[in-house]
């Protein structure tokens, strides 16, 4: 291939990767919004009061004539979609280490799946930690928390708060985990071709009789 053709091929590949990058950011925003909806359905089951006496007030959904679970989903959407922007930008950027644009897209989708699983697991761990922490409750230890005076089940309210706080932290840490994942996949698959794993060339061994069969001499 001539040098000019090689440069043109590199430019086309870069443009394809940039288009994939934009697509990944859009997908990350949608995925983050969907995650927020699912997350809030879980935390609503833990404490409906966390929403009726806190989140609905925070997002202006107190007087909205919709079922509480629907409003909880709306809160999850609004609270989480924007996290897809840094996740898409940062995790998607790591995808450039892969040689082909298809490989970049495929592995980045795997990385997004890792982000979702990691963040959800981290949030559930926060919920469990909150359950342990609230076996006895000293309200003075939660001065920085918004706790309405009319909360009936304080323990459940606090546990939901632990879950939400842990999920945000988990989302940040998940970006680092996704970077590591991309690097590990790159190294383990020996990504030397656009399709992924590099293939070892056949070795031709010529014997004294002039045989050029790939397996000659074995």
Per-residue pLDDT at 80 exceeds 50:
yes
Average pLDDT, the chain: 86
Look at residues 211, 212, 195 and name the one whose alpha carbon lies nearest to residue 203: 212
Per-residue pLDDT at 212 exceeds 50:
no
pTM: 0.80
Provide the pLDDT for residue 120.
96
Question: In a 10 Å sphere around its CB, with 0-12 CB exposed, 13-18 middle and 19+ buried, how is residue 24 labelled?
Answer: buried
Q: Cα(23)–Cα(109) distance, rounded to whole angstroms?
A: 11
Question: In a 10 Å sphere around its CB, with 0-12 CB exposed, 13-18 middle and 19+ buried, how is residue 63 labelled?
Answer: exposed
Per-residue pLDDT at 217 exceeds 80:
no
């Amino acid at each position: 291939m001539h040098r000019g053709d090689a440069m043109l091929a590199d430019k086309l590949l870069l443009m394809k990767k940039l288009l994939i990058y934009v697509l990944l950011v859009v997908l990350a925003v949608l995925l983050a919004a969907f995650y927020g909806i699912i997350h809030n359905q879980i935390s609503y089951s833990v404490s409906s009061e966390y929403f009726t006496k806190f989140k609905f007030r925070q997002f202006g959904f107190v007087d909205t004539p919709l079922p509480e679970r629907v409003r909880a989903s709306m809160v999850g959407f609004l609270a989480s979609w924007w996290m897809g922007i840094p996740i898409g930008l940062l995790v998607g950027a790591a995808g450039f280490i892969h040689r082909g644009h298809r490989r970049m897209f495929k592995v980045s989708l795997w990385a997004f799946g890792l982000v979702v699983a990691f963040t959800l697991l981290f949030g559930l761990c926060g919920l469990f930690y909150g359950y342990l922490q609230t076996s006895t409750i000293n309200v003075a230890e939660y001065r920085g928390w918004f706790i309405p005076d009319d909360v009936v089940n304080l323990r459940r309210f606090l546990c939901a708060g632990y879950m939400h706080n842990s999920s945000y932290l988990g989302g940040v840490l998940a970006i680092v985990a996704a970077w590591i994942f991309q690097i590990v996949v790159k190294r383990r698959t020996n990504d030397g071709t656009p399709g992924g794993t590099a293939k070892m060339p056949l070795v031709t061994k010529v014997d004294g009789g002039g045989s050029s069969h790939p397996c000659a001499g074995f």
